[in-house]
Amino acid sequence: MPTYEYQCDACNHKFEEFQSISADPLTKCPECKKKKLRRLFSTGGGLLFKGSGFYITDYRSDSYKKSAEKGSKSSESSKPAKKSDSKGSSSSNSSSS
């Protein structure tokens, strides 16, 4: 159920009212009891996302995922292979006292 904001034109009293959507708008001010009440437009409640987050990549199409896989596999195969050094470095293997 939404919260509506009202303002009285006679006494300038502002207040919020928790009402059903199907309920009729209020017409009588609770302060001065005159029928000069109007419902104000408000921005409504804020939207709050909880959890790890929502990313555009969470809902990618299957065709995009397949082409991305092909692209990553081709980039890995084009990299030159690293040679392992068979000689040990004496400076890194020294013991400290």
Could you report the per-residue pLDDT of 49-84, keeping only the tens digit for each? 776 666 666 667 788 778 888 877 776 665 555 555
pLDDT of residue 82: 58
Task: For residue 21, give the amino acid letter.
Answer: I
Pairing, β 37-40 against β 14-18: unpaired
Nearest-angstrom CA–CA distance, 65 and 57: 9
Strand partners, 91: none
Question: Does residue 4 or residue 48 have the better pLDDT?
Answer: 4
Q: Which two tokens mark 12?
A: 């300038």
pLDDT of residue 42: 74
pLDDT of residue 35: 92
Total residues belonging to the chain: 97
Task: State the distance between the two ends of the chain, measured CA to CA, in whole angstroms.
Answer: 74
Query: Taking the domains of the chain in order of start, what are their residue ranges?
Result: 3-40
Percent of the chain with pLDDT over 90: 30
Is residue 88 scored above 80 in pLDDT? no
